[in-house]
Amino acid sequence: MQSEMTEEEIDLLDYNYDLPGSLPGTLNIPDDAAPTELVLISYDAKHSVQKTLHQPDECLPYLEQKMVCWLDVRGLGTEDVLRQVGGIFNLHPLLLEDVVNVPHRPKLDLYDDQLLMIVHMVRPSKRGHGFIAEQVGFILQHNVLLTMQEESLWDCFDPVRDRLKRNLGMLRQRGAGYLTYTLLDTLVDGYFPVLEQYGEYIEDLEDEVVMRPTRQTLQKIHELRRELLMLRRYIWPQRTVINSLIRDGSDFLTQENRIYLQDVYDHIIQILDILETYREVSSSLMDVYLSSVSNRMNDVMKLLTVISTIFIPLTFIAGVYGMNFNPAASPLNMPELNWYWGYPLCLGVMATIALSLFTFFWRQGWFANFSAPPPESDR
Amino acid sequence: MQSEMTEEEIDLLDYNYDLPGSLPGTLNIPDDAAPTELVLISYDAKHSVQKTLHQPDECLPYLEQKMVCWLDVRGLGTEDVLRQVGGIFNLHPLLLEDVVNVPHRPKLDLYDDQLLMIVHMVRPSKRGHGFIAEQVGFILQHNVLLTMQEESLWDCFDPVRDRLKRNLGMLRQRGAGYLTYTLLDTLVDGYFPVLEQYGEYIEDLEDEVVMRPTRQTLQKIHELRRELLMLRRYIWPQRTVINSLIRDGSDFLTQENRIYLQDVYDHIIQILDILETYREVSSSLMDVYLSSVSNRMNDVMKLLTVISTIFIPLTFIAGVYGMNFNPAASPLNMPELNWYWGYPLCLGVMATIALSLFTFFWRQGWFANFSAPPPESDR
Amino acid sequence: MQSEMTEEEIDLLDYNYDLPGSLPGTLNIPDDAAPTELVLISYDAKHSVQKTLHQPDECLPYLEQKMVCWLDVRGLGTEDVLRQVGGIFNLHPLLLEDVVNVPHRPKLDLYDDQLLMIVHMVRPSKRGHGFIAEQVGFILQHNVLLTMQEESLWDCFDPVRDRLKRNLGMLRQRGAGYLTYTLLDTLVDGYFPVLEQYGEYIEDLEDEVVMRPTRQTLQKIHELRRELLMLRRYIWPQRTVINSLIRDGSDFLTQENRIYLQDVYDHIIQILDILETYREVSSSLMDVYLSSVSNRMNDVMKLLTVISTIFIPLTFIAGVYGMNFNPAASPLNMPELNWYWGYPLCLGVMATIALSLFTFFWRQGWFANFSAPPPESDR
Amino acid sequence: MQSEMTEEEIDLLDYNYDLPGSLPGTLNIPDDAAPTELVLISYDAKHSVQKTLHQPDECLPYLEQKMVCWLDVRGLGTEDVLRQVGGIFNLHPLLLEDVVNVPHRPKLDLYDDQLLMIVHMVRPSKRGHGFIAEQVGFILQHNVLLTMQEESLWDCFDPVRDRLKRNLGMLRQRGAGYLTYTLLDTLVDGYFPVLEQYGEYIEDLEDEVVMRPTRQTLQKIHELRRELLMLRRYIWPQRTVINSLIRDGSDFLTQENRIYLQDVYDHIIQILDILETYREVSSSLMDVYLSSVSNRMNDVMKLLTVISTIFIPLTFIAGVYGMNFNPAASPLNMPELNWYWGYPLCLGVMATIALSLFTFFWRQGWFANFSAPPPESDR
Amino acid sequence: MQSEMTEEEIDLLDYNYDLPGSLPGTLNIPDDAAPTELVLISYDAKHSVQKTLHQPDECLPYLEQKMVCWLDVRGLGTEDVLRQVGGIFNLHPLLLEDVVNVPHRPKLDLYDDQLLMIVHMVRPSKRGHGFIAEQVGFILQHNVLLTMQEESLWDCFDPVRDRLKRNLGMLRQRGAGYLTYTLLDTLVDGYFPVLEQYGEYIEDLEDEVVMRPTRQTLQKIHELRRELLMLRRYIWPQRTVINSLIRDGSDFLTQENRIYLQDVYDHIIQILDILETYREVSSSLMDVYLSSVSNRMNDVMKLLTVISTIFIPLTFIAGVYGMNFNPAASPLNMPELNWYWGYPLCLGVMATIALSLFTFFWRQGWFANFSAPPPESDR
């Protein structure tokens, strides 16, 4: 998934799929995929080497050492390099296909000698809400971790690289399993800033929807619900993935690493909790919007009714005394027109009617709402 | 299901059923069913034969060879031929009934020496959304695969036939189980173009519902929800079918074929994920539509209110000075009529009132929405 | 349940219940219950006897033979006869109560030497939608089947009686278990015509709700949702009943009969699938109705607004020149009245305003909807 | 729960709770609780004694006999007596607290030598809908049953007492387990009259909501939904209670009693079925109400629009000929005023316009709804 | 969570999270966290000591005694003290992180020699609804209980401290497990006052929404739904926590303590029951609100329609007789103007029309609603 595209809008059908009838193992590489880069980090408690590789086979000497080896494949655009990596690490063609044809639903496959895990990292979009997702494939073998990232420009693993380089925490003392945990932990924690941004966005929308609902508000709520659905689609299967890893991953992870993973699992549950709350709140927001629009319409109707109800009877009275019945033809024909107090009396009756109706509406509380929203916030 | 019919609309009750009390094993063949054609493909790693059969028993010599044999029965309109096929392959009458009386809910039945599977393939409809479904029955025996398709004109298996003919991939090296996997994979991948078309259709509807909601939009949303329900009814039971096949199909499929089938299962889960998202988005669309219509009505009301509120008081004033009270009868009777500045003053008062009200509405932001949607897009 | 009553409307509380504190085993027989008739069919592969009994004990000789015996008790109105039947077949008082106090929720009870099953058959109502349900109790002992039907006039078992009489299919060759399957199969297939009628009814409603929604439409949708709820309440527990029978009924049914029953179970699943679709579509219909009514109101408002907005300013202008300011009192007082072109100019200004507003509304697309629905279909 | 209070309205928070930090086993006895009465019934197949006790320890001689003993504690207002009863029957303080601090959620606790069950009985309220609930605690020991009822004035057990006294059915032949079943059966059957009353109430509401929706209707629907929620909260956990009793209660109930209990369980399932239907119907009613109100508004709008649309153009024409352009100043100034046929022509034009518009609205079907609801039913 | 903040509004994203890539075990201590205080209570059946500690290691002598020891850490603001406590009690860094980085989702972790439990206590907010939550971490070792509270000013444990001091109940006779139960019981009972306050608030809202719905009502309902969601998020996982503790906590709690815990579990189920009812009622309230607003609009529309429909025809008649057709030019031109009874007749016709229309509306029941709500309650 390209960041430029998703910056705009998140695609509803957000899985890569093969053309019906294509051969199993076909790699679908889009034209604008980032060219593949290879970065190798090899470390033990005492040493740490970081090296950018030009050819996949440059990593072979490192794989034979006792040091932990992390080969980070960034960008899935160069088929040739990807196939070489597949060959070196002895990857099943279907497995390589799953990792390269992004995005794929998060999954965990356990083989005899290796473990494949597909997860997604996210970062907040710069629009004030929304997110950009990127797939990461983890392939873990004895003391070698291979990660395959969709994009080359950005990932959330820099703090881990920094900890490896500066030997912070226990990371360098542990094996590839602990590195896997550390990367997963970092990746899952990366969902929280996205959620925090959404939290603020929802609170803004809550104000907007009651105080000044516009057509854009409606679109925003719909878009929000849609984005939360998509975000849930990324994180929900990761729950199963991590859970399976804790339960069944004993061939690849020590007991202690799995205790650490329990912490990652707790975080995913928290993220799902929060997402569920967001979804229910945004559903409620749609109801509030509809009620709000009805309320507005009510106000408009009230204004029209007040004006009409006050002036229509007055206009009728004016109309009556505008009739041309001939007072000369009969003493019954509009004698009021010739009364001494005729005109003031007529105006007085009109004023009385207007005042009575106005008082009636005032006491019914119809004017309460007009003053409530200040004009400047109502535009 | 006839393609002509479904091109129009998808039937809500979309299962074939027996007349109550009919004998078990009765074949219900509609008058417009396609006549049955038989195509046999027999292959091993070295040879591949494709032959159209005139009589079912022409396939007997091929069944006795060691080559893999795929008999493709297209069109379920000739009862005689279907019964002969049932006899040759020793099919239980209920089993033949399930395969012939289309459409039947997807199911998997495992017998001692054969496996029956009913699934549905879909292709996008040409209307821009919707789909056309066709049932396929798979009957797998040792190295013989029998497929029974509802229609003769179209299926999604051409790429597989091509791979058999041109010996692409590993297909010719493997047995009937791998052929079954390949066909299922192709069939399931065929759901994605339908989903992609729906994805675009939903995005069109999302624009339409906010920018220019009409009565047709309402109908489209309802129809969309209904079609997604129907599509889900096809794909949901296939999930169970494939899952059972992986779990219980060891008598018919090798371990490796079942690993490949896991990939098909993953695709079905992805399809269900996407369908669920579509359904929730289309539910939200209905809410958006209702809100949108309310918004429109609000705009209409505002226009009426602005016009009425400005002109009703003015008309009243004009009415007052249209009264015929006789200035001659009393100095109190409408002396304004004889003032030097009477008429200009009256017009001035009217203009002041009109301007004040206009300004009031302007500052309340009531005119904001009228200019928002451009006229040409609003029709 | 009386057919006359249900022809009108289906009762929401649709279960028979005892008066609190009544003795276990009390038979509640309503006054209008049909008098009990007894029909015995006894058959083996070679012979078949059908006989109407006057007294329950007339069946005793047949029970002792090796032939399969089907005693069909129709109408549950004669307590005396029912108790005698209970005595002959050794039925537990609670069991007899469940069968006689109709309607009872579908259930399956397995005893050592007999099996009790309560199910419901339905037939389409003549109103164009709706259904009439009737309870049937099955009591299966070794080679004797006792059925107890709520009504005497109608049931759906005639095709089975016909097959018994004319020795069609394998029915006469098999035992009482296969007869039970055949009756259940016929009974379950009887739901499809009801569903088909509903399918057509829903499609009619779908047209009505968008094209010409009336108050009756609303009532129809509500009634439809209610009837589907009731239908689901009948069929849902039958799913469990048939499933238990397949799983646990090995003492009463052969392996082969249970394979046949699997087919009945598949049909029930299909019925539930269809019902679920119907329910979701009818829920969506309510939303469509509400939107449709709003759309209508919008059209009405638009018409009012167009008329008001065009004429109110014109009427105001006419009002102005109806004022009686005295042109003689001042040259500023309404000099227009004495202009040579005064009146034509005034009319011209009015026409210009009317045309401008009309054009404005036209370009906003406000007239689009008035012409859309043809008058004859809109009533 | 006091009957006076619930006669008014059912409390949303309807569970008794301890003040945070109160000692376990504290009895919360409200001031208006009914004073405790003790009624003992002791029976075997031949004898039956009923006696009102003044002191709890008067029951001791009966407990030592071989007869079945039922001590019915009515009213939970006298702490002293309750504690004595607790002492005699050796009740755990928490158990006594659960029984006395009403209402408590239905529950079943199985101890080594006794069984505690909390259930609720209901009776219909006299308002035409609603119900009054009362908690009953059952404590079953070998051949002794202790029941503790919330109120002293009413319970639903009189038929059982009558059967004990008059030796009806098998009740006196059986033990305390069968007595427990009989009481539970009576209690559960007591839900049906409440449901029946609700069924009629819902049908009344269905008519009201379409024919003459008022503000009270809205309140009634909301109240109905709330009451059904509360009723479900009582009966739902009883399902689990009875189920556990059947499954795990073999130390206290014979196999046969548990078969009888299965019948009680079936009734609870039926009650839940009915409640679920009621809830869905009442949800649908809210939608119908909203649509109905919209329909009414539509009618009002139509009337306004018809009147306005017909008269506004006419009034405009009258206004034009009320203008004072001076025919003497110019031959172009309103020559119509002096035409011979001027006035009749003008009236004719007006009549033509009015008739055309009226016909237009008639053909659009706008008058259809005004005549539909008869005036007398619409108030 | 700070009480000042939550007094305002409850945050949607209500979990503490690490910055992505932070080291495991990092303590996030906000600037305004309360400084840490340490209170130690040590007791056995005969003695009881309460002491405020200045340094964590002052508790060491007490830990070595046979008395039960409860160290209550209040306020999580002093990192140094917290790390020392972690050291003394040998807490895993991740465990300390979970307890200190509040709020964390409720959880239970069982280790070999200690048990970690995170729960939340709540108290009612002073605004009339809402609640303030505070996290408590329980760490239970043999006869030592360590609690870590988020805030120092308030907790709900004072009754327990009082019972310890005054030797009430059996608390001092039992071990740390029973103390844990007592604290949990107190904490869970603390949810009831919050629920009771919500119950009253909902009942107020129910009146408000039907009688006098305003824009604030809408906001209140939305806020209520949101707060109930948040409250449910606190209590739901505690259900799992207590259940696991009962099932798996046998290393830390005696059989009897687990029976007591069952009582706490029952209370949590009751709380969830009530919450679920509240949520459904508040969902229904939103529907009622929307219907109520529609009802109001209907009333406004009716008033407008009544006034318009009565006066528009009258004004038209007045307009007709205000026309200036010249009676002198033709005997057909408005002869009525010169009739003797012209003006009275005209007024009479007007009065007749007005009365007829008024009677029509009266009989349609249109005025019923205007008198219903008293003016003073409608503001």
Residues of chain B with Cβ-Cβ distance to C189 below 8 Å are 17-22
The pLDDT, as a whole number, for residue E369 is 55
Cβ–Cβ under 8 Å, residues D20 and E264 = no
CATH number of the domain enclosing C72: 3.30.460.20
Q: What CA–CA distances, in Å, run from B105 to A161, B23, B238, E84?
A: 53, 20, 9, 65
Query: Residues D246, D326: one domain?
Result: no
Structural domain includes residue E309 = no
Query: Residues D142, D226: one domain?
Result: yes
Query: Residues C80, C174: one domain?
Result: yes
The pLDDT, as a whole number, for residue C227 is 92
Residues of chain E with Cβ-Cβ distance to A308 below 8 Å are 304, 307-308
Complex prediction ipTM: 0.79
pLDDT higher than 90, residue A41: yes
Tell me the residue type at C166. R
Nearest-angstrom CA–CA distance, B272 and B267: 9
Query: Residues B358, B278: one domain?
Result: no
**Any residues with CB less than 8 A from the CB of E175 and at least 6 apart, and which?**
E68, E143, E254
Q: Residue A6, SS3? A: helix
Structural domain includes residue B72 = yes
Range of the domain at E372: 321-378
Structural domain includes residue D296 = no
Structural domain includes residue D126 = yes
The distance of E307 to chain A (nearest Cα, Å) reads 6
Mean pLDDT check: name the lowest of A151-165, C241-255, D358-372, E276-290. D358-372
Instruction: Tell me phi and psi for residue C55, to 5 degrees.
Output: -125, 145
Residues of chain A with Cβ-Cβ distance to E375 below 8 Å are 363-365
The pLDDT, as a whole number, for residue A9 is 55
Q: Does C297 touch chain D (CB under 8 A)?
A: yes
Query: Residues A276, A331: one domain?
Result: no
3-state secondary structure C27-50: CCCCCCCCCCEEEEEEECCCCEEE
Interface test with B, best of C324, C357, C366, C370 (most B CBs within 10 A): C324
The pLDDT, as a whole number, for residue E370 is 47
Confidence tier at E339 by pLDDT (50, 70, 90) = confident
Q: Does D342 touch chain E (CB under 8 A)?
A: yes
E75 DSSP 8-state letter: -
Nearest-angstrom CA–CA distance, B24 and D75: 64
Question: Comparing A365 with D315, which gets the higher pLDDT?
Answer: D315
Among residues E238, E33, E49, E272, which one has the least CA distance to residue E153? E33
Task: Give the pLDDT confidence of C101-110 residue by residue, as tens digits.
Answer: 888 889 998 8
Task: Give the pLDDT confidence of A243-283 residue by residue, as tens digits.
Answer: 999 988 888 888 888 888 988 999 999 999 999 999 999 99
Query: Residues C286, C325: one domain?
Result: no
Q: What CA–CA distances, in Å, run from D35 to A22, D96, D97, D132?
A: 83, 17, 17, 19
Domain boundary among B245, B268, B290: B290
**Closest residue on chain C to D328 (Cα):** C338
D96-135 burial, b for 16+ CB within 10 Å, e for fewer?
bbbbbbbbbbbbbbbeeebbbbbbbbbbbbeeebbbbbbb
Domain boundary among C290, C308, C339: C290
Confidence tier at A370 by pLDDT (50, 70, 90) = very low
Tokens 């629920």 correspond to E195
**Chains near A (3 or more Cβ pairs under 8 Å):** B, E
Q: What is the dihedral of CA B268, B274, B276, B278, to 10 degrees?
A: -140
* Ordered strands of the E131-141 beta sheet: E48-53, E37-43, E68-74, E144-149, E131-141, E115-124, E107-110
The pLDDT, as a whole number, for residue B119 is 94
**Closest residue on chain D to E202 (Cα):** D12
Among residues C223, C240, C217, C234, which one has the least CA distance to residue C275? C234
Query: Residues D352, D235: one domain?
Result: no
Rounded mean pLDDT of chain E?
86
pTM of the model: 0.84
The pLDDT, as a whole number, for residue E376 is 34
The pLDDT, as a whole number, for residue A195 is 92
Contact C23 D297 (CB under 8 A): no
Query: Residues E157, E209: one domain?
Result: yes
Task: Give the pLDDT confidence of A67-93 residue by residue, as tens digits.
Answer: 999 999 999 888 899 999 999 988 888
Tokens 């910055």 correspond to E19
Identify the sign of the CA torsion C216, C220, C226, C230: positive
Task: Give the pLDDT confidence of D115-147 residue by residue, as tens digits.
Answer: 999 999 999 988 888 898 999 999 999 889 999
Query: Residues A87, A152: one domain?
Result: yes
Structural domain includes residue E307 = no
The pLDDT, as a whole number, for residue E364 is 80
Which stretch, A191-205, D292-306, D315-329, has highest mean pLDDT? A191-205
Q: What is the CA radius of gyration of chain B?
A: 35
* DSSP string covering C320-343: HTT----TTT-TTS-GGGG-SSHH
The pLDDT, as a whole number, for residue C356 is 92
Beta-carbon contacts below 8 Å between D and E: 198
Mean pLDDT check: name the lowest of A128-132, A199-203, B20-24. B20-24
Structural domain includes residue D307 = no
Query: Residues D374, D261: one domain?
Result: no
Question: Comparing C53 with C169, which gets the higher pLDDT?
Answer: C53
The pLDDT, as a whole number, for residue E275 is 93
Strand ranges for chain E from DSSP E? 37-43, 48-53, 68-74, 107-110, 115-124, 131-141, 144-149
Give residues 11 to 40 of A whose Cβ lies within 8 Å of B: 11-15, 17-24
Mean pLDDT check: name the lowest of C249-258, D254-263, E4-13. E4-13
Give residues 214 to 233 of A whose Cβ lies within 8 Å of B: 214-215, 218-219, 222, 225-226, 229-230, 233
3-state secondary structure B24-67: CCCCCCCCCCCCCEEEEEEECCCCEEEEEECCHHHHHHHHCCCC
The pLDDT, as a whole number, for residue D370 is 47
Query: Residues B281, B330: one domain?
Result: no
pLDDT higher than 70, residue A180: yes
Task: Give the pLDDT confidence of D89-117 residue by residue, as tens digits.
Answer: 888 888 888 888 888 889 998 888 889 99
Q: Does B283 touch chain A (CB under 8 A)?
A: no
The pLDDT, as a whole number, for residue D302 is 87
Confidence tier at E245 by pLDDT (50, 70, 90) = very high
| Encoded tokens for C209 | 């709700």
pLDDT higher than 80, residue D372: no
Nearest-angstrom CA–CA distance, D32 and A237: 56
Structural domain includes residue A337 = yes
Contact A339 B330 (CB under 8 A): yes
Nearest-angstrom CA–CA distance, A361 and E332: 46
Question: Comparing A202 with D251, which gets the higher pLDDT?
Answer: A202
Structural domain includes residue A74 = yes
Cβ–Cβ under 8 Å, residues D231 and D289 = no
Task: Give the pLDDT confidence of E157-200 residue by residue, as tens digits.
Answer: 988 998 898 888 888 888 899 999 999 999 999 999 999 999 99
Tell me the residue type at E284. S
pLDDT higher than 90, residue C248: no
Query: Residues B285, B325: one domain?
Result: no
Rounded mean pLDDT of chain C?
86
**Chains near C (3 or more Cβ pairs under 8 Å):** B, D
E64 DSSP 8-state letter: T
Number of domains in chain B: 2
Residues of chain D with Cβ-Cβ distance to E323 below 8 Å are 318, 321-322, 343, 346
Domain boundary among C290, C306, C330: C290
The distance of E357 to chain D (nearest Cα, Å) reads 12
The pLDDT, as a whole number, for residue E353 is 92
Task: Give the pLDDT confidence of E272-308 residue by residue, as tens digits.
Answer: 999 999 999 999 999 899 888 888 888 888 888 888 8
